[in-house]
Amino acid sequence: MKQIFESDSISFVEVSERLVPDYLIMVNDYEHVNRFIGGLRKTFTEEQEIAWVRGKRKENAPVFSMIEKESGRFIGNIELMDLSETEGELGIAVTAEMQDKGYGTEAVKAFVAYVMDRWGLKRVFLRTNPDNARAIRVYEKCGFREYDRSEKHVFMEVFSGDPLKDNAVRP
């Protein structure tokens, strides 16, 4: 797996078919992950995940798997979707096993700094489930501010030039 960039504790690598078993555990965990990234109560298959990896790689999408440097364990995936010349939408999923360890905060800070620098973005935005208090806290710690809310989503954004603390990103 090719490392693209890193932060203090995380290697950000290309998505890989070798990680499909880890992806399946994560996306099929309704209680801790799936309900917050789509909530379809759908079971994803190995074939679907392989197709997802191949599709993302074919389109050269800015999506990375996060690997804990110390142990080599899979943390989750982070992605920039709907990329335009000035902005993109952040998506992140962290495995249940790796939640509440600070990886989400470290990953979001590093990723936002990386994509703003790499693509010259002015804004990164996201939407999250209003019941996902853990994620909302992470995003706020990373400088995101709420700009809208609906029954199903909290919409948050951060702009280039906004303070992102501890952005230790290394290519």
CATH number for the domain that contains residue 135:
3.40.630.30
pLDDT per position as a tens digit, 74-118: 999 999 998 899 999 999 999 889 989 999 999 999 999 999 999
Q: Specify the DSSP element, H or E, that contains 1.
A: none
Q: Please indicate, yes or no, if residue 146 is contained in any of the structural domains.
A: yes
Beta bridge partners, 79, equal 63, 91
CA dihedral (31, 27, 94, 117) positive or negative = negative
The residue segments making up the domain with residue 47 are 3-159
Q: Please indicate, yes or no, if residue 37 is contained in any of the structural domains.
A: yes
Q: Please indicate, yes or no, if residue 169 is contained in any of the structural domains.
A: no
d(CA 121, CA 82): 12
Residue 11 has pLDDT above 60, yes or no: yes
Residue 59, token pair as written in the block:
């389109």
Report the mean per-residue pLDDT for the chain.
87
Q: Please indicate, yes or no, if residue 20 is contained in any of the structural domains.
A: yes
Burial 7-16 (b: 16+ CB within 10 A, else e): bebbbbbbbe
Query: What is the number of structural domains in the chain?
Result: 1
- 17-34 average pLDDT score: 80
Q: Please indicate, yes or no, if residue 168 is contained in any of the structural domains.
A: no
Note the pTM of the prediction, 2 decimals: 0.88
Tell me the one-letter amino acid at 123: R
Q: Please indicate, yes or no, if residue 138 is contained in any of the structural domains.
A: yes
